[in-house]
Structure 1
Amino acid sequence: MALLEELEALTKAFSGHGVDEKSCVAILGKWEPENRKAFRKGTPHFFIEDERQFEKWDDRQVRLLKHEFMRFKNAVVLWAMHPWERDARLAKEAMVKGPHTYGLLVEIACTRTSEELLGAKKAYHSLYDRSLEEDIVSHVHGTERKQLLVALVSAYRYEGSKVKDETAKSEAKALSIAMKNANDEKPIIEDEEVIRILGTRSKPHLQAVHKHYNEISGKNLDEDLDDIMLKETVQCLCTPLRYFSKVLDAALRIDVDKNTKKALTRVIVTRADIDMKEIKDEYQNLYGISLSQKIEDTAIGNYKDFLLTLISRGG
């Protein structure tokens, strides 16, 4: 391989989701000092040259690359964990990182079965000697957000299929009225009736509420919600396949921040044994490309291979 081709190959190895470790070893391992200098000179988005013509790594790029190198390791570690421990650790991380990751708490509370959520809370006790609820109260900013999250993680929802349609219709009307009455002084997230419905009702019941709300207002419930946490709550409870597909699509964009990228590992690892086939079908319907092909086009190296192996489980 000519030097120019090697430079291009190595640049590509560093420029996706994950890192192509094999290319790094094959190319960097045999390069002489002048080859490495040519790489530094030829990649100004990786290296900065000072007034002495000394090429040094851009610190921001070093931080980004550390995250990319870690993606494969993190995916393997998460996959090997018991699902309850995995959710407990993810919940703890979401609280520590702050408001921009609170959606992960919603995801765990609303897309797990009642037994899975109870198991995650048991694991949280074992890992941290505290309850998930008390840590939410301690760490989450905003009284109304605490109330919603505590309600969601405290729920032990009915798992059966029975739905009282008249009740669902009545609650859809109640949500429509609450939406119209919400204002800056009393935002929708502070409405106790909204919290009660979303925090206690079964998923089949809430899907019926979602349907009736659309019939009443002409819009989906999540479309009418301005509050991002409530919007994600409704999506996770009522349309989880669409929710996960959208999270995956956002994570597979090249120019997104590291936290958005991390969702790619999280969703694939946590859903591989549960509903990945259905998520793949929904992703294809939404975006006109298979999830496998999107990962093939975007991810790199062992990380890509591991993700493709996980999503192939179950067909």
Structure 2
Amino acid sequence: MYHESDDLFSLKLHYCLQVLSSELTHRKKKMANGSEALIKAFSGIGIDEKAIVSLLGESHPEDRQNFRKGCRDFFIEDERSFERWDDHRVKLLKHEFMRFKNAAVLRAMHPWERDARLIKEALIKGPQSYGVIVEVACTRSSDELLGARKAYHSLFDHSIEEDVASNVDSSERKLLVALVSAYRYEGPKVKDDTAKSEAKKLAHAIKNVDKKNLVEDEEVISILSTRSKPHLKAVYKHYKEICGKNIDEDLTADLIVLVAVHCLCIPQTYFCKILDASLTNNADKKVKKGLTRVIVTQADRNMKEINEQYQKLYGVSLSQKIEVTANGNYKDLLLTLISRGK
């Protein structure tokens, strides 16, 4: 038969074990939550700097080990019994840490310098980035493009036209040189008969694309590089009336011409597509850069229209999409710039 003191001791021991078990459970839960929070802070577009400072700064060695073991996307189990960073992931994270810095630097730049540097970078990176050259040439006003050309002279001791002509050795050269050289009329007047006639010419050129590449067709180059944007929007409208569908539906094989048409005729839709592609989970580095480029360059220009078109196309606001996709200071800067268009 147990003495009362033995019963009391058993109760106290049972209570202590319950407390210890509860603390261990709480500790494990806290470690798991911390690991999940760290994974989230390191994931997405940009880095959640505040969360990383808090979680890594206050963490214990076992917390960080738990994070490493639980995150196989970031760490690899080494044969010598430790978890090491995946080299490719480290490289990607460096880009994510740089994202805020790059956005801030671009935002602070004079718009002329910014556009000149965007064109220079696209020329260095080659054919897959030529769309950025078209974007700058076709979505800026005549004076803005002229300013970028002046800045290019100062920065690189060459003209944009000269560098495009000497660096682009593909069939897109003529069209790209013509677009960056343009100084378009920006008034409202449009000759509707001429617009209709040129819509027919474009339809004929597209129909006979097997005989002559569109980017080398002098008629196509002339229309896209010399006509005003209101005129080209009229051409876009007449093409649909003549052919029964939008011109972009017939340009899927000519990407540079397609980008030019989008930028000249439906720029808000073009920017929305760039933004949405950059916000997808599996977007590559080049595609993700479009997010910074579009928001920084358009924050003082067309952000209101872009916001409205994005909501219309995708059923969610651009700010909501960025809120759940981006992180940290980078996210805060993007949301601040987007709010300028509300």
Q: TM tier, shorter chain?
A: over 0.9
Q: Secondary structure at the match of 2:172?
A: helix
Output the CA distance in 2 between the equivalents of 1:181 and 1:49. Answer: 58
Aligned to 1:257: 284
* Larger relative contact order (CA 8 Å, sep ≥ 6): 1
Q: Secondary structure at the match of 2:58?
A: coil
* Aligned counterpart in structure 2 of residue 146 of structure 1, from 155, 173, 179: 173
Aligned to 1:211: 237
Aligned to 2:3: none
Aligned to 1:56: 84
- Asked whether 1:223 is paired with 2:275, we answer no
- 1:131 is displaced (CA, Å) by 0.5
* Aligned counterpart in structure 2 of residue 136 of structure 1, from 145, 152, 164: 164
Deviates more, 1:37-46 or 1:209-218: 37-46
Give the AA of the match of 2:306.
I
Aligned to 1:190: 216
- Deviations along 1:108-152, one digit per CA (max 9) or x if unpaired, are 00000000000000000000000011111121230x211000000
- 1:221 is displaced (CA, Å) by 1.1
Output the CA distance in 2 between the equivalents of 1:124 and 1:173. Answer: 37
Give the AA of the match of 2:202.
L
* Aligned counterpart in structure 1 of residue 143 of structure 2, from 109, 112, 115: 115
Query: Unaligned stretches of 5+ in structure 2?
Result: 1-28
Give the AA of the match of 2:59.
W
- Asked whether 1:94 is paired with 2:122, we answer yes
Aligned to 1:161: 188
Output the CA distance in 1 between the equivalents of 2:182 and 2:213. Answer: 23
Q: Secondary structure at the match of 1:2?
A: helix
- Asked whether 1:308 is paired with 2:331, we answer no
- Deviations along 1:72-125, one digit per CA (max 9) or x if unpaired, are 111111000000000001110001011111000000000000000000000000
- 1:33 is displaced (CA, Å) by 2.3
- 1:218 is displaced (CA, Å) by 0.9
Output the CA distance in 1 between the equivalents of 2:37 and 2:83. Answer: 20
Output the CA distance in 1 between the equivalents of 2:194 and 2:239. Answer: 12
- Deviations along 1:194-226, one digit per CA (max 9) or x if unpaired, are 011001100000000000000000111111112
Amino-acid identity (%) = 66
Output the CA distance in 2 between the equivalents of 1:186 and 1:158. Answer: 29
* Aligned counterpart in structure 1 of residue 305 of structure 2, from 269, 278, 295: 278
- 1:34 is displaced (CA, Å) by 2.3
Aligned to 2:58: 30
Q: Secondary structure at the match of 2:245?
A: coil
- Asked whether 1:232 is paired with 2:259, we answer yes
Aligned to 1:173: 200
Give the AA of the match of 1:257.
D
Output the CA distance in 2 between the equivalents of 1:64 and 1:227. Answer: 31
Output the CA distance in 1 between the equivalents of 2:230 and 2:187. Answer: 8
Output the CA distance in 1 between the equivalents of 2:77 and 2:336. Answer: 41
- Asked whether 1:40 is paired with 2:68, we answer yes
| Preserved CA contact (<8 Å) 1:99 1:141 | no
Q: TM-score, normalised by structure 2?
A: 0.90
Give the AA of the match of 1:241.
Q
Output the CA distance in 1 between the equivalents of 2:341 and 2:327. Answer: 23
- Asked whether 1:245 is paired with 2:267, we answer no
Query: Unaligned stretches of 5+ in structure 1?
Result: none
Output the CA distance in 2 between the equivalents of 1:26 and 1:180. Answer: 61
- 1:254 is displaced (CA, Å) by 1.4
| Preserved CA contact (<8 Å) 2:271 2:294 | yes
